[in-house]
Chain A
Amino acid sequence: MDNPAISIENIIKSYDKVVALDDISFEVDKGELFGLIGPDGAGKTSLFRILTTLLIQDSGNAIVEGFNVVKDYKKLRTIIGYMPGRFSLYPDLTVEENLRFFATIFNTTIEDNYDLIKTIYRQIEPFKKRLAGNLSGGMKQKLALSCALIHKPEVLFLDEPTTGVDAVSRKEFWEMLKELQKKDITILVSTPYMDEASMCDRVALIQNGRILEVETPEEIVKLYPHSLWAVISSDMYKLESDLQSFEKSVSVYRFGDSIHLSVKDDDIYGSDIKEYLESKNQNKIKVEKIDANIEDCFMALMNNNDL
């Protein structure tokens, strides 16, 4: 077996009294597209800053491609690419100047590595004389990704690249990442959007500085501990409170146009739920057994239910 691309052991980081990272450990394999999934304030950015040598942990160790993030930070910086959550290019340089700047500080040229960035950079190349500060959100994101890639890094760190981005552009961005992965780049990407987990090879679910689970998305949803039902009726507002008072219910959460009801035991039938709702005068009831998705699992873990 190859050594992992990223190895994180017992990382702890606090700011004054706030524990941002509380004993974090996991590994990312070479060539993996690995997702760090969790809401704002979970500790994602602190972990990224430690792994990219911009912040020093209180304790614990992290190794990226064989380099210790503290001792070997200079060497490490040459082989990683980092796209921070906030747009951090030079707004008063043009698109091309930004890219050339990043290429130059890594002792390379745009021409040398053009092949790696071309599918992404081509989309903004018509605007290469435009100041970066005047680009639209989607174009800024593509430029930032191009700049993070121009020195052909072995590991790419993307901190919330899709936050505040619409559903269409998010989908396109993940398609770009899938393409990059084929070029043997390990990618660690963070996101608050639970549905993006399915695009990753493996994910770590993170909340309040702790890792809740590390697994493939397929395995995580299989671990869901209860039976799960999608329920619809003609009065969705009342349905939520009716389901909450159902004696076997563990949790009740709205999910788009249905409500997900999680139930304690497995030998319950859809007809039991339907009968109960009829006794509550609900109409047009639809009950369907479903598989959990990542968001169901995340909420179950937040409620301290082990998967």
Chain B
Amino acid sequence: MAQQVIIKVDNLVKKFGNFTANDNLTFEVFKGEIFGFLGANGAGKTTALRILCGLSSPTSGQVEVAGFDVYKQTNKIKMNIGYMSQKFSLYEDLTVRENIRFFAGIYGLSRKIIRERTDELLNKLNIEELGDKLISSLPLGWKQKLSFSIAIFHRPQIVFLDEPTGGVDPITRRQFWDMIYDASNDGITVFVTTHYMDEAEYCNRVSIMVDGRIEALDTPETLKKTYNAKNMNEVFLMLARK
């Protein structure tokens, strides 16, 4: 069975003045896949991520996200994706329920649906008692888990995660990946960046960007074979250190 393509990038180029941040990127991401987007700092990941989220236009090339064009249909793209980063997650001075209502409201969900899904979510995470607590009072691990849940609250086709586990303790980091697997099993495509190389192993496929280009893209298993490496950390060090 052919896999359904959910992100299609053809010869994407993005220039800032004389500097080429994305140099002719071509790749596809499949529906329901966990796609690892790796690269050294400054390799051009953030630039590409912003384009895929409809926040910035390419200089040239064709890019479709969830079936929508990144030049003309950015609002449709935004409605169909979720986004979470380590830096921007939730409003500290709003409660858990208020944050959910705020973000879900932006995506146009009805009050009834918001109420139903909020109860469902708090129940699933086993944190009913935290619903009326301020985000600022929660430990980091919980904030990150909630932030992820809220990013997929409107049931987007794709969720973009920008270093979602930075600084999180090792047990919570693994619980976070359990949630990623669940989302993927529900058919949500997960596009994730990370600096933890063990997490690269958890992805279905991984791309590694170096100096604005995709230097390698394959399953972790094949990449390790190709580069004759013990683990993804070795693959990364081989490719990214030039």
Which of A's residues lie within 8 Å of B, judged by CB? Answer: 38-42, 136-138, 160, 163-171, 192-194, 207, 237, 253-257, 295, 298-299, 302-303
Q: Are B181 and A167 in touch, CB under 8 angstroms? A: no
A256 and B140 in contact (CB under 8 A), knowing A167-B197, A167-B240? Answer: no
Q: Could you tell me the distance between the alpha carbons of A166 and B196 in the complex, rounded to whole angstroms?
A: 8
Q: Which of B24-32, B96-104, B121-129, B170-178 sits within the interface?
A: B170-178
> Nearest Cβ in chain A — how far from B196, in angstroms?
8
B233 touches A167 (CB 8 A): yes
Q: Does B67 contact A (CB under 8 A)?
A: no
* B195–A254 CB distance below 8 A: no
Taking A253-B171, A256-B198, A302-B169 as given, write out 7 further A-B residue pairs in contact, using a Cβ cutoff of 8 Å, ordered by the A residue number.
A38-B169, A39-B167, A39-B168, A138-B41, A166-B195, A167-B237, A253-B170
B77-118 residues with Cβ-Cβ distance < 8 A to A are 86
Contact count A vs B, C-beta below 8 Å: 87
> What is the chain A residue whose CB lies nearest that of B144?
A40
CB distance from B140 to the nearest CB of A (A): 5
Q: Is B177 a contact of A254 with CB atoms below 8 Å?
A: yes
Residues on B with C-beta less than 8 A from A165 are 41, 195
Determine the distance from Cα of A292 to Cα of B231 in the docked complex, in whole angstroms: 17
- Of the residues A41, A166, A194, A254, contact of B41 by C-beta under 8 Å: A166
Bound-state CA distance A257–B36 (Å) is 14
Q: Cβ of B237 and Cβ of A171 under 8 Å apart?
A: yes
Quick one: closest B residue to A302, CB to CB? B171
Pairwise interchain contact B232-A256, C-beta atoms closer than 8 A: yes
Say whether, besides A167-B233, A257-B220, A257-B231, A40 and B170 are in contact (CB < 8 Å). Answer: no
CB pair A163 B240 closer than 8 Å = no
- Given the known inter-chain contacts A164-B166, A165-B41, A169-B40, please indicate yes or no for A256 contacting B231, CB distance below 8 A: yes
Q: Mark B19-50, 1 if CB is under 8 A from A, else 0.
A: 00000000000000000000111110000000
CA distance A160 to B237 in the complex (A): 21
Asked whether B139 is an interface residue with its Cβ less than 8 Å from the other chain, the reply is: yes
Which of A167, A171, A253 has the most chain B CB atoms closer than 10 A to its own CB? Answer: A167
Question: In the complex, A170→B40 CA distance in Å?
Answer: 10
B236 A40 Cβ-Cβ under 8 A: no
- The listed residue (B42, B168, B172, B177) touching A137 by CB distance below 8 A is B42
Can you pick out 18 interface pairs between chain A and chain B where the beta carbons lie within 8 Å of each other? A39-B168, A39-B169, A39-B170, A40-B167, A41-B139, A136-B41, A138-B42, A166-B40, A167-B40, A167-B195, A167-B233, A168-B40, A192-B166, A253-B174, A256-B197, A257-B201, A257-B231, A298-B170
Contact (Cβ within 8 A) B170 A41: no
Within the assembled complex, what's the spacing in Å between the Cα atoms of A298 and B177?
A: 18
Q: Are A166 and B39 closer than 8 Å at their CB atoms? A: yes
Say yes or no: A254 contacts B174, CB within 8 Å. Answer: yes
Q: Cβ of B41 and Cβ of A169 under 8 Å apart?
A: yes
Query: Which residue on chain A has the smallest CB distance to residue B185?
Result: A237
Which B residues lie within 8 Å of A38 (CB)? 169
A168-B174 CB under 8 A given contacts A256-B201, A256-B231, A257-B231: no
B163 adjacent to chain A (CB < 8 Å): yes
Give the one of B42, B163, B172, B224 with max A CB within 10 A.
B42
Contact A254 B202 (CB under 8 A): yes
Per CB-CB distance, the 10 closest pairs between chain A and chain B, nearest first, are: A39-B169, A40-B167, A256-B201, A256-B198, A166-B40, A192-B167, A257-B201, A168-B240, A137-B41, A168-B241
Provided the pairs A41-B139, A163-B166, A168-B241 are in contact, do residues A299 and B171 lie with their beta carbons within 8 angstroms? Answer: yes
Which residues of the partner chain A approach B197 to less than 8 Å between Cβ atoms? 167, 256
Bound-state Cα–Cα, A299 to B141, Å: 14
B220 contact set on A, CB distance < 8 A? 257
Residues on A with C-beta less than 8 A from B141 are 39
Q: Do A299 and B42 touch (CB < 8 A)? A: no
Closest Cβ of chain B to A251, distance in Å, is 9
Q: Mark B222-242, 1 if CB is under 8 A from A, else 0.
A: 001000000111001100110
Contacts of A298 in B (CB 8 A): 169-170
CB distance from B19 to the nearest CB of A (A): 12
Residues of B within 8 A of A138 (CB): 41-42
In angstroms, Cα B139 to Cα A185, docked, is: 35
Tell which of A40, A137, A302 touches B140, judged by Cβ atoms closer than 8 Å.
A40
Contact between chains at B201 and A295 (CB < 8 Å): no
Chain A proximity of B207: nearest CB distance (Å)? 14
